[in-house]
Structure formats: structure tokens, C-alpha cells
Amino acid sequence: MERTLVLVKPDGVQRGMVGEIISRLERRGIKLVALKMMLVDQALAHRHYGEHEGKPFFQGLVDFITSSPLVAMIWEADDVVEIVRGTMGQTNPKNAAPGTIRGDLGVNIGRNLVHGSDSPESAQREVALFFKEGEILDYNRNNDPWITE
């Protein structure tokens, strides 16, 4: 089963959007298997956003993601990376479609509320950065047959 890392970024926490964002993902039918609130330190921020090191927005991004607590989660489903990216919307909320988290809740690329891994490979890397294996729960949902055939 595929897993993905989702972060409600500091702006989402500060704006009281944690419930709204979790709710949208829950309603999709995907399965929550890990969740915690945490403050990201410089080292974790650099590792998580390593692919963007050297870009003009990198320092601002690291400062932002370490500025205040965030909520980290792991969601599970077949093709969950693609499903979550669709529900999040495009990186820049200005261009994100209405009906998506970013398209409904944001206006600025540097305050786009949510992170979701961009491929199954990055998901594996990011899940391991944020969570220990023991923090990820394995459980059955009775309604699974009503969500996927």
C-alpha cells in the first residue's frame, strides 16, 4: 500500500485550518496512519527541502517551515501520492483550482498551507525523515469495501 507524507504547514496551524485540511483528506476516503504536531528544526528543514537548496526562495522556505509548529501526517491508499496532490492543488494557490485546499484557502506561494510528497520515491524518503516505524499504525477499517472495490 502506498504512503505519503502530508504537512499542515505553520500557516495552516496558525490560521486554524488543521481540522479543515484533515477533514478534506478524510472525506476523500484515504487512511490516516500517523499524526503528530512538532516544531521542525533547521537540520530537518534542510533535509526535507534539500532539492530546493540554492534556489532564491530556499532560505525563506526554511525560515517559514521552522517558524512555528506544524502537523505531520502519513496517509495511505493505492496511488495516495497522486490523490493527495490533486486534493492539495497546484503549488501556487493563485493558480490552484477552486475545490482544492490551496485553491480554496490560500493566495500566496510562500503560504500555501500544506505539503504532500511529489512521488512514491520522495514519499518513502520523507516518511522516514519525519516518523519512526513504531509511530505508524497498522489497523483495519470496516468501511474499506465501501471506499474501494
Instruction: Report how many residues bind Mg ion under the rule CB under 5 A.
Output: 1
DSSP SS3 for 91: coil
Residue 5: strand pairing partners? 74
Tell the smallest beta-carbon distance from residue 128 to Mg ion (Å). Answer: 16
Cβ-proximal residue to Mg ion, closest one:
118
d(CA 82, CA 76): 11
Query: How far is 33 from 137, CA to CA, in rounded Å?
Result: 5
Q: Mark the segment that binds ligand DAT (CB under 6 A) among 38-46, 66-74, 104-112, 134-142.
A: 104-112
DSSP secondary structure string for all residues of 23-47: HHHHHHT-EEEEEEEEPPPHHHHHH
Please identify which residue in 59, 68, 91, 119 interacts with ligand DAT, judged by CB under 6 A. Answer: 91
| Near ligand DAT by CB under 6 A: residue from 97, 107, 110, 119 | 110
Q: Which residues from 118-147 bind Mg ion, rule CB under 5 A?
A: 118
